[in-house]
Amino acid sequence: MDKKISVIVPVYNTEDYVERCIRSIMNQTYTNLEIIIINDGSIDTSLSICEKLQKEDNRIIIVNQDNKGVSKARNVGLDKATGEFVGFVDSDDFLEPDMYEIMINHLIVENADLCRIKAYIYNREGGIEEISKERNVFIFNNELEIMNAYLKNELKIAVWDKLFRRKCVEKLRFDYKLFNEDAAYVWEACLNSRKVVMDTKQLYHHIKRATNSLTSCPFNENNLTLYNYCKKNFNKLLNEYLDKEEQAYLFYFNGLFHLLKVYKRDWDNNNLTNYYKKEILGIIDELNFIVKNKSQYINKFDLIHSKDIIEILANRLNQLN
């Protein structure tokens, strides 16, 4: 247990959950941890709960700041981290006791830079969405395999189901101005990794709550930052990786498709306050080009779904004055 793991936990008004969360980290079978709690301006009893736990465990470090959001809180945690490995936990979630022991063993045995496990996902009614019946371990051994695993959603875009070798993320920070910043962080971490391990054992418990998710925010101008990010990285992939056209178009498709799905969801729920007609029609045109000319790179289900969304949104927008 000579390899230290820095576990970064942003906390904001989660008094009903935070003790369970922190104790699940304190009780890990892998004990060489530093638990960095960033109290992001909580106005409930979250801080006092964390201070009580700190008295029980000297591995806990508490940093207080004004409310700046989860991305800035995680960045502060990264600045404080001293472990060879770094993990992130949301303060309303909790862990299986052997999660970090299993993950760090994979990283050490395989000499890998990133490990991902699966999670139990709890819906807003408290039920578990999926229980895995089989356990498999997959190794992605090179840049192309890692890219494809990310782009085909095997590695997922969350940070809380992963353990990172710190040297691979040392210079990475969460872009708090970017919509879907977790996805961007994981993508950059993947590009910095020589080898990635994925274990399908469910070891993390992720709680969906209406108040803790970007999905509770209506579509707004910030969402459109994802378009600029995807465009920039699409061009970078085409220019710097001459043999990776498939990966470039799949990256671009995934980002644009996700953006339109969020936009359509809010339209369907009557949550739009601005239609961004010009911008969305431009995104539809670019996505339509990929669907028509690069369909060989897209899986059949996403292709069908994207065509439906393009048609629905184009018709709606063209009917606006």
DSSP string, 253-265: HHHHHHHHHHHHH
Nearest residue to 261 via CA among 297, 308, 217: 308
User: Where is the domain boundary, 212, 243, 259?
Assistant: 212
Residue 213 exposed, middle or buried by CB count within 10 Å (0-12, 13-18, 19+): exposed
pTM: 0.94
Are both 187 and 252 inside the same structural domain? no
Number of domains in the chain: 2
- Name the average pLDDT for the chain: 95
- Please give the backbone phi and psi of residue 65, each rounded to the nearest 5 degrees, phi first: -150, 160
Are both 129 and 236 inside the same structural domain? no
User: Where is the domain boundary, 151, 179, 212?
Assistant: 212
Nearest residue to 61 via CA among 44, 80, 78, 46: 80
pLDDT at position 130? 82
Enclosing domain of residue 291 = 217-318
Are both 17 and 111 inside the same structural domain? yes
Are both 150 and 227 inside the same structural domain? no
Are both 206 and 81 inside the same structural domain? yes
Q: SS3 for 212?
A: helix
Six token digits for residue 11: 């906390």
Are both 195 and 298 inside the same structural domain? no
DSSP 224: G
pLDDT tens-place string over residues 74-96: 999 999 999 999 999 999 999 99
Calculated CA dihedral for residues 100, 103, 109, 114, nearest 10 degrees: -120
User: Where is the domain boundary, 212, 241, 262?
Assistant: 212
pLDDT tens-place string over residues 164-212: 999 999 899 999 999 999 999 999 999 999 999 999 999 999 998 765 4
